[in-house]
Chains A and B, each alone.
Chain A
Amino acid sequence: MPTITFEQPNGTATDVEVAEGGNIMRAAVANNIAGIVGECGGQAMCATCHVYVNPEDAAGLPEPSEDEDEMLDCTTAERTEHSRLGCQVSLGGALQSIRVAVPSDQV
């Protein structure tokens, strides 16, 4: 099963397994990962599942859609070139593992 590693601002890391096709936000909520809110239920409307993708993993990801790109301007913590909305990044296929950092603030 694909694996997501969530790294908290204090440096602790947690591995979470996710079903093929599962996205980062749902995996976080289902596994009680602190700092990922997902208030809109995964519709790229609220920007509260903001994560920073590990630069080495970012290369393998599809580009953000226009909606996701624009909503990333709503994040509470600073947006960087590696910012993504967790609800818009699914794992599976060639992408079997990813490491993401949880921002210090989400709302």
Chain B
Amino acid sequence: MNESILIIGAGHAGVQLAESLRENGHDGTITLIDQGAQQPYQRPPLSKDFVSAQEPEALPLRSEDFYTQQRIELLTGARATAVDRAARTVTLSDGQQRSYDRLVFATGARNRVLSCPGAQDPRVIGLRTLQDAENLRRQLDGAQRVVVAGAGFIGLEFAAAARARGIEATVLHSAPRVLNRSVSRQLSDWFTQAHRADGIDLRLGEGVQSIDAQEDLLVQSTAGESHRADLVVYGIGVLPNVELAEASGLACENGILVDAALRTSDERVYAVGDCANAERDGTRVRLESVQNAADQARSLARTLCGEPTLYSDVPWFWSIQGRHRLQIAGLAQPTDSSMLLGDPGSGKFSIALLRDGQLVAVESVNRAADHAAARKLLARGERITEAMLAGASLKELANATPVAA
């Protein structure tokens, strides 16, 4: 395999793809281009240990000499500005042009920006990049009160980490439930109570109306209340980075549209990770997770090395919500029915989600054993019913069920 492969974006997906291409025997040139100036780094710790200053520096994704050892050309601080699919070239921000045999978009996503009046103040911060995290950590030193806009994973992780440092935290969330796009209603309600019990002032159905940036920040909520803060952190969702793909004529809709083999409408062009909206079981899914980024990259590497592979790995997610470890296996939908496993009062429990009587996802709080078992069961694709779950633990089911061929 001597094709030249150009990867735009050196996040979790891009770097994994480069590595897996070599592991699968690709011998041609691999070029990774990324607009960030630094070595590719791990994202998940940024909203967790890094902010609470437990982690002194960002964790690199790979060692510095990894790229040279693997003959991967890493161009950092370089932005791809145009793709000419007919000529098979990519133009970079410094004017140079690179040609490719295969092109992969691993461009990720960016934060939706808080856009209310006053949101331009430098003390109003989104959290996505290492630069954001460094900025945030600096400003957090000496802060006594923070307001968080948005009770998604990032907003709540940050609020809980700040609270653990003794900082007063108010969370404004315009939807009626926390984590409303990501978890079941029961789990959402449980986390609402848990975070309130830990001292977070959690306001549901209240968004940020405006920010009066005086000496302190005065955050006006849509409920007409005013919250004083030293800084405001927002986590109100992301937008997939599709502009370059779109400008080059590729089909995009909530991400770059790819088939189950992660190929775009151009057979030489692919997309992986947060920017990819992939066909899966007859529907379309765009996931924002490290697991999805890395596993899609591994899958695509096999395809590019001559072993056509359809991506079908079981999605899983995790979040550290203050004292609580949340792990999710599988993909649920709002219409799925739920079944409680264990006692939420004990702080260790899981919620099984079922569709048409069959297990499709498991949300686990402080119960890694359930998560581990759920991942095995879902990967095997066996039919697990409510009656089976009532009669045995997930672990027992995972151990009892023979591995299907």
Contact = CB atoms under 8 A, between A and B. Distances in A.
A45 interface: yes
Contacts of B320: 43
A70 B48 contact: no
Interface stretch (A7-15, A28-36, A91-99): A28-36
Contacts of A58: none
A67 B325 contact: yes
B291 A70 contact: no
B122 to A, nearest CB: 28
Contact of A74 (B65, B69, B371): B371
Nearest to A31: B63
A42 B59 contact: yes
B62 interface: yes
Interface in B54-82: 59-63, 65-66, 69
A73 B66 CA distance: 30
Contacts of A43: 44-45, 48-49, 318, 320
Contact of B66 (A32, A40, A66, A71): A32
Contacts of B60: 29-30
Interface residues of B, number: 32
Interface of A is mostly: loop
Contacts of B373: 73
B294 interface: yes
A46 B59 contact: no
A73 B62 contact: no
A40 B375 contact: no
Interface residues of A, number: 21
A40 B371 CA distance: 15
A40 B42 CA distance: 8
A41 interface: yes
A39 interface: yes
A26 interface: yes
A107 interface: yes
A41 B59 CA distance: 7
B369 A73 contact: yes
Nearest to A44: B368
B395 interface: yes
Contacts of B367: 70
B298 A40 contact: no
A73 B42 CA distance: 24
Given A71-B372, A73-B369, A42 B45 contact: yes
Contacts of A70: 367-369, 371-372
B327 interface: yes
B218 interface: no
A64 to B, nearest CB: 11
B290 interface: yes
Contact of B45 (A41, A47, A74): A41
Contacts of A45: 318, 325, 327
Contacts of B291: 39, 46
B44 A41 contact: yes
B43 to A, nearest CB: 8
Most A CB within 10 A of own CB, among B295, B320, B369? B369
B62 A29 contact: yes
Contacts of A46: 291, 318
Nearest to A32: B63
Given A32-B69, A42-B45, A74 B372 contact: yes
Nearest to B59: A41
B59 A29 contact: yes
Interface in B35-57: 42-45, 48-49
Contacts of A26: 59
A45 B45 CA distance: 12
Contacts of B372: 47, 70-71, 73-74
A97 to B, nearest CB: 21
Nearest to A43: B320
Q: Which of B43, B48, B318 has the most CB of A within 10 A?
A: B318
Nearest to B61: A29
B59 A71 contact: no
Nearest to B23: A34
B298 A107 contact: yes
A40 B44 contact: yes
Contacts of A42: 45, 59
Nearest 3 Cβ contacts at the A-B interface: A70-B368, A73-B372, A70-B369
Given A32-B63, A73-B369, A107-B298, 15 more contacts: A26-B59, A31-B63, A40-B318, A41-B43, A43-B320, A45-B325, A66-B368, A70-B372, A71-B371, A71-B372, A73-B376, A74-B368, A74-B372, A74-B375, A74-B376
14 contacts: A26-B59, A30-B63, A32-B62, A40-B290, A42-B45, A43-B45, A43-B318, A66-B368, A70-B372, A73-B372, A73-B395, A74-B368, A74-B372, A107-B294
